[in-house]
Amino acid sequence: MAIAGWVAGLVVCIVVVASMPLAGAGWWVLLVLGLAGAGTCLYKIQAAHMDRFVITNMRVFRVTGIFSQHLATMPIQRILDIAVHKPLVGRLLGYGHFVFESAAQDQGLRDVRWVGRPDERDLTIQRVIQRSGVRRSMAVSHPVPHGGRTRSSPGSPDPERGADGT
């Protein structure tokens, strides 16, 4: 994932600091560059480690941040569609990006980037939605354009007729 690049940068910074004795009088430049680069890499590694994507039976939310945290959340009932984008590098390294479509105009959780194992997470979200009964409860009755009556779901008896349909 994204952490691998920052770990490689950290190794480069350590090599730069280790090569200080070879620099002669300009050793302090290498020290400052190495420490600044190492600090940046450690911050990015910690930021990636503190990024959490959580799926519960009621909500999907993401918590990010080191010093100040940001929480974006969406109720499971509002998720209408999930698009999963896996770039070539993401397929090789096992990450992808989610785009949640919902009925809300402005939402705090639309684009979720850098999600590890996106196929497993997508299946988990679909299972939670199905088990919560959100989609099932929406398909109970269907309006009929004539007569003002509604017809029941297929397989359920008509309330105005007997159990055998007559």
- Tell me the C-alpha distance between 144 and 160, whole Å: 15
Using alpha carbons, list the distances in angstroms from residue 89 to 46, 93, 95, 131.
22, 6, 8, 33
Same domain, 97 and 74: yes
Residue 160 resides in a domain: no
**Banded model confidence at residue 159, pLDDT cuts 50, 70, 90:** very low
Same domain, 82 and 27: no
Number of domains comprising the chain = 2
Contacts 24+ apart (CB under 8 A), 115-123: 115/53, 116/1, 118/84, 118/86, 118/90, 119/84, 121/53, 121/55, 122/82, 122/84, 122/98
Give the model's pLDDT for residue 105: 65
Give the model's pLDDT for residue 106: 65
- CATH number of the domain residue 64 falls in: 2.30.29
pTM: 0.57
For range 41-55, the mean pLDDT? 85
Give the model's pLDDT for residue 6: 78
For range 42-69, the mean pLDDT? 86
Residue-wise pLDDT tens digits, 106-156: 677 888 888 889 999 899 888 888 887 766 544 444 444 555 444 444 444
Using alpha carbons, list the distances in angstroms from residue 52 to 7, 25, 58, 83.
19, 45, 17, 19
Residue-wise pLDDT tens digits, 124-133: 888 888 887 7
- Tell me the C-alpha distance between 143 and 59, whole Å: 30
Give the model's pLDDT for residue 2: 62
Residue 142 resides in a domain: no
- Tell me the C-alpha distance between 135 and 126, whole Å: 10
Residue length, the chain?
A: 166
Residue 163 resides in a domain: no
Residue-wise pLDDT tens digits, 59-103: 888 888 888 988 888 888 888 888 999 999 989 988 899 988 887
Residue 166 resides in a domain: no
* Four-residue CA torsion sign, 132, 62, 123, 103: positive
Query: 105 lies in which domain range?
Result: 52-136
Residue 164 resides in a domain: no
Give the model's pLDDT for residue 139: 44
Give the model's pLDDT for residue 58: 86
Give the model's pLDDT for residue 135: 61
